[in-house]
A and B are shown apart, each in its own frame.
Chain A
Amino acid sequence: MLDHMGFPAVDYEKSKAFYDKALAPLGIEVVMSVSAEETGGDAFAGYGSDGKPDFWVATGRPAGEIMHFHVAFAAKDRATVDAFYAAAMAAGGRDNGGPGLRPHYHPNYYAAFVLDPDGNNIEAVCHKPE
C-alpha cells in the first residue's frame, strides 16, 4: 500500500547519521542521495532495501515547526528488533519503549520504540511467533 514516505529534518546531517546506524540492522541503507546543488533546493537521502528508496530524509524543515510522526519498520525476527533498538540508542536516539511484546496489540507483537533527533517515534516490529 505504501510506496514511500519522507520528512524534512531540523538537522539533516545529524538525522542522516542517526538513520544510517539505526536502520542498518533492518537491512535498510541509503540507496540514493540528491544534493542541494543538484535539486537547486533541498537535499534528500533515500533509505531502502533492494535498491529502492522508500524512506526519505530531507533538509528544509521550517523553524519552529514541531510535528512528530510515527513510522514502524518491519523486522524479520525478534533479534532484529533488539539489534535495531541497540543501534538506535548507540546512535543517540532516546528510549521510547525497549524491545518486548506488546500483547495489547496482539499476542506476537514484538517491538521497540526510539525517538529520533527530531522527536519522531521510530519503531521496529516483528509479528511472528518466536
Chain B
Amino acid sequence: MFDHVDCPVTDIRRSIAFYDALLAPLGVSRLITRVAPGSGGASNAGYGRDGHAGFWLSNASRRGRLHVGFSATTRDAVAAFHAAGLAAGGEDNGGPGLRPYAANYFAAYIIDPDGHNIEAVCRAVG
C-alpha cells in the first residue's frame, strides 16, 4: 500500500547512526544519503531493501510522535532489532514478544532519538 514514508528528525547525523544500527537486523540498509554541509539546508537519507528506498529521514526542526512498523521475517530478527536499538541509544518501549493485536503478532518497540515509536513486527507463525 505504501510507496514510501518520510520521518522528520532533528539531527540527521545522529539519526543516521541510530537507524543504520536499528534497521540492519531487518535487512534494511541506507541506500541514499544526502547530508548538507553545516547545519542548514535539506538533508535526507533513504533506507530500503531490494534497491527501493521506502523509509526516509529528513531534517526538521520539530519533534514528533510518528509510529512506523517495519516487517520482520523472523522473531529472531525482531529481538535483534530491539537489542540493536537499545545498544544504539534508543529507549525501550516494549520488548520482543507476542501482542494481542493479531494471531502470531510478535513485535518489539524502540523510541528513537526524536521520540518516534519504531516497531519491528513478525507475523509468521513462531
Contact = CB atoms under 8 A, between A and B. Distances in A.
B1 A74 contact: yes
B48 A1 contact: yes
A28 B5 contact: no
Interface in A60-78: 61-62, 65-74
B5 A70 contact: yes
A100 interface: no
B66 A67 contact: yes
B125 to A, nearest CB: 16
B71 interface: yes
Contacts, number: 94
A123 B56 CA distance: 14
B13 interface: no
A125 B68 CA distance: 20
Interface residues of B, number: 31
B70 A67 contact: no
B3 A72 contact: yes
Interface stretch (B35-43, B57-65, B79-87): B57-65
A73 B2 contact: yes
B55 interface: yes
Given A28-B1, A55-B1, A3 B69 contact: yes
10 contacts: A2-B2, A2-B68, A5-B66, A5-B68, A6-B66, A6-B67, A7-B66, A49-B1, A56-B67, A69-B64
Given A2-B54, A69-B5, A121-B6, 6 more contacts: A1-B49, A7-B66, A68-B62, A71-B6, A72-B3, A74-B1
Interface of B: 1-8, 26, 28, 48-49, 52, 54-56, 58, 60, 62-71, 119, 121, 123
Interface of A: 1-8, 26, 28, 48-49, 54-56, 61-62, 65-74, 121, 123, 125, 127
